[in-house]
Amino acid sequence: RAVETALRTADLSAEMELHYQPILDTATGAITFVEALARWTSPILGRVGPDRFVAAAERCGLVHGLTLLLLSKALADFRQFPAWVGLSFNLSAHDLVSPEAVQEIIATVRESGIDPRRLTLELTETALMRDFDQAKAGITSLRALGIKIALDDFGTGYSSLGYVHRLPLDKIKIDRSFMAGIDTEIGGSLISTIVSLCRNLGLDGIVEGVETAAQREAAQRQGCRYIQGYLIGRPMPLRDLLARLAQEP
Ligand code: G
Ligand code: G
Ligand code: MN
Ligand code: NA
Protein backbone atom coordinates (compact mmCIF):
# COMPACT_ATOMS: atom_id res chain seq x y z
CA ARG A 1 0.00 0.00 0.00
CA ALA A 2 2.83 2.38 0.90
CA VAL A 3 4.32 1.75 -2.54
CA GLU A 4 1.03 2.64 -4.24
CA THR A 5 0.75 5.88 -2.26
CA ALA A 6 4.33 6.86 -3.07
CA LEU A 7 3.82 5.99 -6.75
CA ARG A 8 0.73 8.17 -7.09
CA THR A 9 2.61 11.26 -5.94
CA ALA A 10 5.93 10.41 -7.57
CA ASP A 11 7.60 12.44 -10.29
CA LEU A 12 8.19 9.27 -12.25
CA SER A 13 10.07 10.94 -15.04
CA ALA A 14 12.65 12.29 -12.58
CA GLU A 15 12.75 9.36 -10.14
CA MET A 16 12.90 6.41 -12.54
CA GLU A 17 16.17 5.30 -14.03
CA LEU A 18 17.12 2.42 -16.28
CA HIS A 19 19.98 0.06 -15.71
CA TYR A 20 21.22 -2.25 -18.44
CA GLN A 21 22.40 -5.84 -18.32
CA PRO A 22 24.47 -7.30 -21.18
CA ILE A 23 23.52 -10.51 -23.03
CA LEU A 24 26.40 -12.45 -24.58
CA ASP A 25 26.31 -14.28 -27.91
CA THR A 26 28.70 -17.14 -27.22
CA ALA A 27 28.97 -17.88 -30.96
CA THR A 28 30.67 -14.53 -31.62
CA GLY A 29 31.87 -13.59 -28.12
CA ALA A 30 30.10 -10.22 -28.47
CA ILE A 31 27.44 -8.47 -26.40
CA THR A 32 24.66 -8.37 -28.96
CA PHE A 33 21.75 -7.42 -26.69
CA VAL A 34 21.19 -5.45 -23.54
CA GLU A 35 18.17 -5.76 -21.22
CA ALA A 36 16.76 -2.56 -19.70
CA LEU A 37 15.80 -2.93 -16.02
CA ALA A 38 13.92 -0.16 -14.25
CA ARG A 39 15.19 1.33 -10.98
CA TRP A 40 13.13 3.63 -8.78
CA THR A 41 14.49 5.83 -6.03
CA SER A 42 11.49 7.27 -4.21
CA PRO A 43 12.07 10.34 -2.04
CA ILE A 44 9.71 8.74 0.50
CA LEU A 45 10.66 5.07 0.41
CA GLY A 46 14.18 5.05 -1.02
CA ARG A 47 15.04 2.32 -3.48
CA VAL A 48 12.11 0.12 -4.48
CA GLY A 49 12.68 -2.89 -6.76
CA PRO A 50 10.77 -3.31 -10.03
CA ASP A 51 9.02 -6.46 -8.77
CA ARG A 52 7.30 -4.30 -6.15
CA PHE A 53 6.64 -1.10 -8.04
CA VAL A 54 5.45 -2.77 -11.24
CA ALA A 55 2.95 -4.83 -9.21
CA ALA A 56 1.82 -1.68 -7.36
CA ALA A 57 1.51 0.27 -10.62
CA GLU A 58 -0.59 -2.58 -12.05
CA ARG A 59 -2.92 -2.44 -9.03
CA CYS A 60 -3.48 1.31 -9.31
CA GLY A 61 -3.77 1.54 -13.06
CA LEU A 62 -0.51 3.43 -13.56
CA VAL A 63 1.45 0.73 -15.24
CA HIS A 64 0.83 1.44 -18.91
CA GLY A 65 1.82 5.09 -18.47
CA LEU A 66 4.91 3.90 -16.62
CA THR A 67 5.76 1.49 -19.43
CA LEU A 68 5.50 4.23 -22.05
CA LEU A 69 7.65 6.56 -19.95
CA LEU A 70 10.33 3.90 -19.35
CA LEU A 71 10.25 2.77 -22.97
CA SER A 72 10.81 6.29 -24.27
CA LYS A 73 13.66 6.78 -21.76
CA ALA A 74 15.25 3.48 -22.83
CA LEU A 75 14.89 4.33 -26.52
CA ALA A 76 16.51 7.73 -25.91
CA ASP A 77 19.46 6.01 -24.17
CA PHE A 78 19.53 3.49 -26.98
CA ARG A 79 20.64 6.14 -29.49
CA GLN A 80 24.03 6.02 -27.79
CA PHE A 81 24.44 2.26 -28.22
CA PRO A 82 26.77 0.87 -30.91
CA ALA A 83 24.91 -0.23 -34.04
CA TRP A 84 25.40 -3.98 -33.46
CA VAL A 85 23.70 -3.96 -30.05
CA GLY A 86 19.96 -4.51 -29.65
CA LEU A 87 17.69 -3.48 -26.78
CA SER A 88 15.44 -5.81 -24.79
CA PHE A 89 12.65 -4.19 -22.75
CA ASN A 90 10.15 -5.76 -20.31
CA LEU A 91 6.43 -5.21 -20.82
CA SER A 92 3.89 -5.67 -18.05
CA ALA A 93 0.80 -7.84 -18.08
CA HIS A 94 -1.36 -4.77 -18.74
CA ASP A 95 0.46 -3.45 -21.78
CA LEU A 96 -1.23 -5.56 -24.45
CA VAL A 97 -4.78 -5.56 -23.07
CA SER A 98 -6.23 -3.39 -25.81
CA PRO A 99 -5.41 -2.42 -29.41
CA GLU A 100 -5.06 1.20 -28.17
CA ALA A 101 -2.41 0.20 -25.62
CA VAL A 102 -0.48 -1.61 -28.36
CA GLN A 103 -0.77 1.40 -30.67
CA GLU A 104 0.71 3.61 -27.94
CA ILE A 105 3.72 1.32 -27.71
CA ILE A 106 4.08 1.42 -31.49
CA ALA A 107 3.80 5.23 -31.48
CA THR A 108 6.53 5.47 -28.81
CA VAL A 109 8.84 3.29 -30.91
CA ARG A 110 8.07 5.30 -34.07
CA GLU A 111 8.70 8.65 -32.34
CA SER A 112 12.12 7.44 -31.17
CA GLY A 113 13.21 6.92 -34.76
CA ILE A 114 15.08 3.70 -33.92
CA ASP A 115 15.05 0.68 -36.23
CA PRO A 116 12.30 -1.53 -34.72
CA ARG A 117 14.28 -4.63 -35.71
CA ARG A 118 16.80 -3.74 -32.98
CA LEU A 119 14.09 -3.87 -30.29
CA THR A 120 12.92 -6.96 -28.38
CA LEU A 121 9.92 -6.79 -26.06
CA GLU A 122 9.85 -9.34 -23.23
CA LEU A 123 6.56 -10.73 -22.02
CA THR A 124 5.85 -13.18 -19.23
CA GLU A 125 3.39 -15.99 -19.45
CA THR A 126 1.23 -14.29 -16.81
CA ALA A 127 0.99 -11.32 -19.16
CA LEU A 128 -0.14 -13.56 -21.99
CA MET A 129 -2.66 -15.48 -19.90
CA ARG A 130 -4.69 -12.42 -19.01
CA ASP A 131 -6.24 -12.35 -22.45
CA PHE A 132 -4.58 -14.74 -24.82
CA ASP A 133 -6.31 -13.62 -28.03
CA GLN A 134 -5.71 -9.95 -27.36
CA ALA A 135 -2.06 -10.59 -26.45
CA LYS A 136 -1.62 -12.62 -29.62
CA ALA A 137 -3.13 -9.83 -31.74
CA GLY A 138 -0.85 -7.31 -30.02
CA ILE A 139 2.22 -9.44 -30.61
CA THR A 140 1.27 -9.81 -34.26
CA SER A 141 1.04 -6.01 -34.72
CA LEU A 142 4.37 -5.45 -32.98
CA ARG A 143 6.09 -8.13 -35.04
CA ALA A 144 4.66 -6.68 -38.25
CA LEU A 145 6.80 -3.63 -37.50
CA GLY A 146 9.91 -5.80 -37.10
CA ILE A 147 9.96 -5.79 -33.27
CA LYS A 148 11.04 -9.14 -31.76
CA ILE A 149 9.08 -10.83 -28.99
CA ALA A 150 10.66 -12.85 -26.17
CA LEU A 151 8.80 -15.07 -23.71
CA ASP A 152 10.41 -14.17 -20.36
CA ASP A 153 10.87 -16.40 -17.28
CA PHE A 154 10.13 -19.48 -19.39
CA GLY A 155 9.38 -22.59 -17.39
CA THR A 156 7.97 -20.90 -14.29
CA GLY A 157 4.34 -20.60 -15.43
CA TYR A 158 1.51 -23.09 -15.46
CA SER A 159 1.55 -24.28 -19.01
CA SER A 160 4.48 -22.79 -20.87
CA LEU A 161 4.57 -25.71 -23.29
CA GLY A 162 0.98 -25.11 -24.28
CA TYR A 163 1.76 -21.55 -25.29
CA VAL A 164 4.96 -21.61 -27.22
CA HIS A 165 3.59 -23.08 -30.40
CA ARG A 166 0.39 -21.02 -30.35
CA LEU A 167 2.16 -17.66 -30.23
CA PRO A 168 4.27 -15.86 -32.82
CA LEU A 169 7.50 -15.62 -30.78
CA ASP A 170 11.13 -14.94 -31.65
CA LYS A 171 12.94 -15.82 -28.43
CA ILE A 172 12.59 -17.72 -25.19
CA LYS A 173 14.33 -16.61 -22.00
CA ILE A 174 14.94 -19.68 -19.87
CA ASP A 175 14.27 -18.80 -16.24
CA ARG A 176 17.27 -18.60 -13.96
CA SER A 177 15.89 -21.28 -11.66
CA PHE A 178 16.99 -23.82 -14.32
CA MET A 179 20.53 -22.47 -14.32
CA ALA A 180 20.76 -22.94 -10.57
CA GLY A 181 20.45 -26.72 -11.05
CA ILE A 182 22.50 -27.13 -14.22
CA ASP A 183 25.33 -29.02 -12.49
CA THR A 184 22.99 -31.86 -11.53
CA GLU A 185 22.14 -34.58 -14.02
CA ILE A 186 18.42 -33.81 -14.07
CA GLY A 187 19.05 -30.05 -14.21
CA GLY A 188 21.41 -30.42 -17.15
CA SER A 189 18.95 -32.54 -19.07
CA LEU A 190 16.13 -30.06 -18.38
CA ILE A 191 18.19 -27.24 -19.91
CA SER A 192 19.22 -29.31 -22.91
CA THR A 193 15.58 -30.28 -23.46
CA ILE A 194 14.48 -26.64 -23.46
CA VAL A 195 17.35 -25.73 -25.78
CA SER A 196 16.27 -28.41 -28.27
CA LEU A 197 12.69 -27.22 -27.96
CA CYS A 198 13.84 -23.72 -28.93
CA ARG A 199 15.83 -25.08 -31.85
CA ASN A 200 12.90 -27.16 -33.10
CA LEU A 201 10.59 -24.15 -32.93
CA GLY A 202 13.15 -21.92 -34.66
CA LEU A 203 13.44 -19.64 -31.61
CA ASP A 204 16.54 -18.13 -30.01
CA GLY A 205 17.03 -19.47 -26.48
CA ILE A 206 18.59 -17.16 -23.90
CA VAL A 207 19.67 -18.67 -20.62
CA GLU A 208 19.38 -16.36 -17.60
CA GLY A 209 21.09 -16.36 -14.24
CA VAL A 210 24.57 -17.53 -15.30
CA GLU A 211 26.68 -16.65 -12.27
CA THR A 212 29.76 -18.88 -12.48
CA ALA A 213 32.23 -20.02 -15.14
CA ALA A 214 31.17 -23.62 -14.45
CA GLN A 215 27.54 -22.73 -15.19
CA ARG A 216 28.56 -20.97 -18.38
CA GLU A 217 30.53 -24.01 -19.56
CA ALA A 218 27.64 -26.31 -18.69
CA ALA A 219 25.18 -24.03 -20.52
CA GLN A 220 27.34 -23.98 -23.65
CA ARG A 221 27.77 -27.75 -23.45
CA GLN A 222 23.96 -28.05 -23.46
CA GLY A 223 23.87 -25.94 -26.63
CA CYS A 224 22.84 -22.55 -25.21
CA ARG A 225 24.05 -19.78 -27.50
CA TYR A 226 22.87 -16.65 -25.65
CA ILE A 227 23.82 -16.12 -22.03
CA GLN A 228 22.78 -13.52 -19.45
CA GLY A 229 23.76 -13.27 -15.81
CA TYR A 230 26.05 -11.76 -13.22
CA LEU A 231 29.06 -13.59 -14.75
CA ILE A 232 28.65 -11.62 -17.98
CA GLY A 233 27.62 -8.43 -16.21
CA ARG A 234 25.30 -7.07 -13.53
CA PRO A 235 22.61 -4.56 -14.42
CA MET A 236 24.52 -1.24 -14.59
CA PRO A 237 23.92 2.45 -15.24
CA LEU A 238 24.05 3.66 -18.83
CA ARG A 239 27.51 5.22 -18.60
CA ASP A 240 29.03 1.98 -17.27
CA LEU A 241 27.32 0.02 -20.00
CA LEU A 242 28.63 2.35 -22.70
CA ALA A 243 32.16 2.04 -21.25
CA ARG A 244 31.80 -1.74 -21.31
CA LEU A 245 30.53 -1.77 -24.90
CA ALA A 246 33.39 0.50 -25.96
CA GLN A 247 35.85 -2.20 -24.81
CA GLU A 248 34.15 -4.83 -26.95
CA PRO A 249 36.24 -6.33 -29.76
O1 G B 1 16.10 -5.93 -12.06
P2 G B 1 15.41 -6.93 -11.17
O3 G B 1 16.02 -8.28 -11.09
O4 G B 1 15.16 -6.41 -9.78
O5 G B 1 13.95 -7.12 -11.84
C6 G B 1 12.96 -7.82 -11.21
C7 G B 1 11.79 -8.01 -12.15
O8 G B 1 11.24 -6.73 -12.56
C9 G B 1 12.12 -8.76 -13.41
O10 G B 1 11.18 -9.79 -13.56
C11 G B 1 11.95 -7.77 -14.51
O12 G B 1 11.42 -8.39 -15.65
C13 G B 1 10.98 -6.76 -13.93
N14 G B 1 11.26 -5.44 -14.53
C15 G B 1 12.42 -4.76 -14.53
N16 G B 1 12.30 -3.61 -15.21
C17 G B 1 11.04 -3.57 -15.69
C18 G B 1 10.31 -2.65 -16.51
O19 G B 1 10.83 -1.62 -16.98
N20 G B 1 9.01 -2.95 -16.77
C21 G B 1 8.42 -4.07 -16.30
N22 G B 1 7.13 -4.28 -16.61
N23 G B 1 9.07 -4.98 -15.55
C24 G B 1 10.38 -4.74 -15.26
O1 G C 1 12.47 -11.61 -15.03
P2 G C 1 13.58 -10.93 -15.70
O3 G C 1 14.44 -11.86 -16.48
O4 G C 1 13.21 -9.73 -16.52
O5 G C 1 14.49 -10.41 -14.54
C6 G C 1 15.79 -10.01 -14.68
C7 G C 1 16.23 -9.94 -13.25
O8 G C 1 17.17 -10.97 -12.94
C9 G C 1 16.89 -8.62 -12.95
O10 G C 1 16.31 -8.08 -11.82
C11 G C 1 18.32 -8.97 -12.66
O12 G C 1 18.82 -8.16 -11.61
C13 G C 1 18.23 -10.43 -12.21
N14 G C 1 19.43 -11.15 -12.58
C15 G C 1 20.14 -11.01 -13.72
N16 G C 1 21.19 -11.85 -13.75
C17 G C 1 21.17 -12.55 -12.60
C18 G C 1 22.01 -13.57 -12.06
O19 G C 1 22.98 -14.00 -12.64
N20 G C 1 21.63 -14.07 -10.84
C21 G C 1 20.54 -13.61 -10.18
N22 G C 1 20.28 -14.15 -8.98
N23 G C 1 19.73 -12.65 -10.65
C24 G C 1 20.04 -12.12 -11.86
MN1 MN D 1 13.25 -9.84 -18.54
NA1 NA E 1 13.42 -13.68 -16.82
> Which atom of ligand 1 has the smallest separation from the CA of 95?
22
pTM above 0.80, yes or no: yes
Q: List, for residues 130-184, the tens digit of each pLDDT value.
A: 888 999 999 999 999 999 999 999 988 766 677 788 899 999 999 999 988 888 8
| Domain extents in the chain | 20-37+63-246
Proximal ligand: closest to the CA of 50: 1
236-240 long-range contacts (CB < 8 A, ≥24 apart) are 236/19, 236/20, 236/21, 237/17, 237/19, 237/20, 238/18, 238/19, 238/20, 238/77, 238/80
Q: What is the mean pLDDT of the chain?
A: 94
Cα–Cα distance for residue pair 124/23, rounded to 1 Å: 18
Query: CB within 8 A of 126, min separation 6: which ones?
Result: 93, 157
Atom of ligand 1 nearest to the CA of 21: 1
- The residue to mutate among 18, 21, 179, 212, having the most atoms of ligand 2 within 8 angstroms of its beta carbon, is 21
Distance between CA atoms of 21 and 35, rounded to whole angstroms? 5
Ligand 2 contacts (CB < 6 A) are 21, 37, 90, 152-153, 173, 176, 208-211, 229-230, 235
**CATH code for 20-37+63-246?**
3.20.20.450
- Helix, strand, coil percent values for the chain (each to nearest 5): 45, 25, 30
Pocket lining: 92 vs ligand 1, CB cutoff 6 Å: yes
Exposed (0-12), middle (13-18) or buried (19+): which is 166, by Cβ within 10 Å? exposed
Residue 150 and residue 155: Cα distance in Å, rounded? Answer: 13
d(CA 101, CA 135): 11
Please report the ipTM that was assigned to this predicted complex: 0.96
Which residue's alpha carbon is nearest to atom 24 within ligand 2?
A: 209
Task: Using a pLDDT cut of 90, give the percent of the chain over it.
Answer: 83
Strand ranges, E, within the chain? 16-25, 30-42, 46-48, 86-90, 119-124, 148-154, 171-174, 204-207, 226-228, 236-237
Task: Establish whether residue 229 lines the binding site of ligand 1, counting it when its CB lies within 6 angstroms of any ligand atom.
Answer: no
Give the per-residue pLDDT at 158.
67
Query: Is the CB–ligand 1 distance for residue 70 below 6 Å?
Result: yes
Q: What is the model's pLDDT at position 159? A: 62
